[in-house]
């Protein structure tokens, strides 16, 4: 995580340094800046998918969309199977709260809401601060510290057991 933070800080420093005003960068500078961000993103993907068994993808939303669709599909098949046992839909929906696929789908939906909130906040901060908005990755470090105190991976480990 420190390497990722260093890459982001390097990007902000190079992008904001004198003589690198927007629109005046050379192709080499732009490619170098993109390489710094791509490397930081790659480190984040490798780091955060390797902390315990928790498989939340922070750098690509398609993986999370896939997991969400799988969870919803599994839950819908469960609802269908329960409905064939002549149970009322309301009773099935009430019991859904305890079903693992429903909980996983709800968790993935919450992550998607976080993605959307992050995109909105990032766009707003970029319009105000441009590249200086990238100084806020301290939030990621805070999330890592919280995960060390209350690991989310423990819940997923128990569900997989």
Q: pLDDT tens digits for 42-77? A: 887 777 664 455 566 666 677 778 888 998 999 999
pLDDT value at position 78?
Answer: 93
Q: Which of 17, 9, 18 is nearest to 36 (CA)?
A: 9
Q: Which of 116, 148, 135 is nearest to 12 (CA)?
A: 135
Pairwise pLDDT comparison (55 vs 148), residue with the higher score:
148
User: How many degrees, rounded to 5, is the angle at CA 157 between CA 113 and CA 75?
Assistant: 55
| pLDDT one-digit tens code per residue, 89-143 | 888 888 888 898 898 888 888 888 888 888 888 888 878 877 777 766 666 677 7
Check whether 33 has a pLDDT greater than 60. Answer: yes
Task: Compute the distance between CA of residue 152 and CA of residue 137 in angstroms, rounded to an integer.
Answer: 20
pTM over 0.85: no
């Amino acid at each position: 995580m420190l390497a990722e933070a260093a890459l982001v800080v390097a990007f902000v420093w190079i992008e904001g340094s004198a003589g690198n005003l927007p629109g005046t960068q050379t192709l080499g500078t732009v490619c170098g800046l993109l390489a710094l961000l791509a490397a930081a993103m790659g480190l984040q993907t490798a780091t955060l998918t390797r902390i315990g068994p928790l498989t939340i993808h922070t750098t690509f939303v398609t993986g999370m969309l896939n997991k969400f669709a799988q969870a919803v599909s599994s839950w819908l098949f469960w609802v269908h199977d329960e409905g064939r046992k002549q149970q009322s839909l309301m009773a099935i929906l009430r019991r859904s709260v305890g079903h693992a696929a429903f909980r996983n789908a709800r968790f993935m939906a919450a992550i998607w809401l976080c993605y959307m909130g992050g995109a909105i906040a990032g766009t707003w901060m970029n319009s105000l601060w441009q590249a200086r908005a990238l100084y806020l990755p301290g939030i990621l470090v805070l999330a890592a510290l919280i995960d060390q105190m209350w690991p989310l991976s423990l819940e997923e480990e128990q569900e997989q057991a």
